[in-house]
Amino acid sequence: MGQYKHSLLEHYNWLREKTNKLKTLEEIIQHVENPEQINLEKLEHKLDLPREIIAKTIERLYGPKTQVSHKLYHWWQEPYGAKRKISASYLHTRISEAMKKIGAENPTQLAKKLNIPEGKTSIIRDWMKQYPTITAKTGVLKRILTILNIPLEELEQKKAILDRKFPINLYSPKIAKLYTHALNEGSLILGKTPTQVTLRYVNQDPVLIRKFIDTVKKAGGWAKILPPQKPGFDVYTDSVTARIVNAAGLPYGRKTITDPPLHPRILKDPQLAKHHLHITFLEEGYATFSYAKDRLQLIIGISRSKDITEHIPAETLQELLKYKGQKVQPTKFFTKQFIDDIFPDLTPIALTQERRLIEDFLWKEFSMKLEPKARVSYLHISLDGDITANYRIAVRSEEAIQLFKEIVFAEPLGTWKEYRLQKMLEIYDEYKGRRLTPEEKQEIKQQTPPSHIPEKWIITKARQLLANEAPWINDEQKIKIITRWYKSRYENE
């Protein structure tokens, strides 16, 4: 019992620190009118907090410190080795103007007058030979432009960068929408060097794969579907897109550990908030039927997971580790006090913010409060011994169902989950409000579309929407790889 008290005390100390951090996060969000132009001096005066704390918090909310001032991602913020394609006519003209200004007739004379190292001189000579585009590494380009006294932002103003449009507004709707996909079903993967990064996105529904690819393109990048190796469509993006999502606030690594927040624009923009809830329902949400005193209930929810290993008492952790590779119910291992007091405070930040969005919409549209809080539906014990809690928020009131109906079907994409929810709403309208017989419950079960996506539906949609990106979709054997997990799991249902 003493060990439990000690663990509880440690948790409450941790909770106090977290509460202060969350308070700071909320205060900064409230005081930042325009995330594109954050003034540290004004925030420091309003919040009465040390500048370093504000700067660190802003970095977490709105991206790296270098973007605090204007919230734009510039070409020179790319890694040293990231290659850019530059307009040769622009760069030739500017180099020639720089030589003329100091009376140099060629790069060699320019180098002598400006004391440019031989290596950089060779690069300038090479650039003058390239046409119509010049390929240059970011670090080298930045260094030479600085030597020649050419403003770095001029390349953006003159649209001289040809492979990507800079600067990139990290607070724009298109980046916020891309961030939502990455937060839900994406993975930011960091390679051996800063240039070797990618954003991966995996989903079973071809409609969502199409949506993700189009969202990446609208953000200025590209996305490609990998050849089938396992169930689900696996998409990867260009490295610039991955770095943009990271700069917008999504950390590299496992999201169950990094516990990232929503994109800050979503918290300020009601239309983007509804878009986020729509996409998140399709990627992380669920709908199910239940019964209360033989009356039909429709439950709609969203789930997210978080690693809670470090918050579990040692004795309980040892018991849980006996179930590696399995899912277990928390009530089997934790006291009611722990479940009621500790688990809620560990709720993923994004899910807490999503609950707040739902609550705000319910109050604004129906003058109704959202009572249910997030709860842990199960624990997963990995083979490595990490304990991940699956948190869920669920709503079942008529007002909440109406809200989700409006959000999901305002601009439907045609996904399987939308089709299933529409059918469930029709069933709910027919059977709700009265006690049901066993026969009627069986009718409901038979009429409800399965939660898993039928193989035929996946193949048909994939060939309609993805054939240009992945010609192998027309190969019967290869497309079956995408669906085999679902088929083997559900074929006996």
Instruction: Output b/e per residue, 417-442; b: 16+ Cβ within 10 A.
Output: bbebbeebbebbeebeeeebeeeeee
What's the pLDDT score for residue 2?
63
Q: What is the pLDDT of residues 254-295, one digit of tens each?
A: 999 999 999 999 999 999 999 999 999 999 999 999 999 999
The answer to whether the CB of 206 falls within 8 A of the CB of 286 is: no
Residue 204 has φ and ψ, to the nearest 5°, of -85, -25
Strands 186-190 and 72-73: unpaired
pLDDT of 36 higher than 70: no
Rounded Cα distance, 160 and 321, in Å? 57
Alpha carbon 412 to its chain centroid, in Å, reads 20
What percentage of residues in the chain have a pLDDT greater than 90? Answer: 74
DSSP string, 361-413: HHHHHH-----PPPEEEEEEE-TTS-EEEEEEEEE-SHHHHHHHHHHHHSS--
Q: What is the pLDDT of residues 152-172, one digit of tens each?
A: 999 999 999 999 999 999 999
Alpha carbon 313 to its chain centroid, in Å, reads 31
Q: What is the pLDDT of residues 396-424, one digit of tens each?
A: 999 999 999 999 999 999 999 999 999 99
pLDDT of 70 higher than 50: no
What's the pLDDT score for residue 49?
67
Residues 6+ apart with CB under 8 A from 372: 393, 394, 395
What percentage of residues in the chain have a pLDDT greater than 70? Answer: 85
> Which regions of 5-129 does DSSP assign to beta strands (E)?
72-73, 83-87
What's the pLDDT score for residue 67?
38
What's the pLDDT score for residue 291?
97
DSSP string, 255-277: HHHH-----HHHHH-HHHHHHHH
User: pLDDT tier at 71 (50, 70, 90 boundaries)?
Assistant: confident
The answer to whether the CB of 86 falls within 8 A of the CB of 50 is: no
What's the pLDDT score for residue 35?
63
Mean pLDDT of the chain: 89
Three-class secondary structure of residue 229 per DSSP: coil
Three-class secondary structure of residue 451 per DSSP: coil
User: pLDDT tier at 63 (50, 70, 90 boundaries)?
Assistant: low
Only one residue has tokens 């060990």, namely 3
pTM (2 decimals)? 0.84
Q: How many CA atoms lie within 13 A of 423 on its CB side?
A: 15
pLDDT of 492 higher than 50: no
Q: Which domains does the chain have, with CATH numbers?
A: 2-59 (no CATH), 76-157 (1.10.260), 168-275 (3.10.28.10), 284-451 (3.10.28)
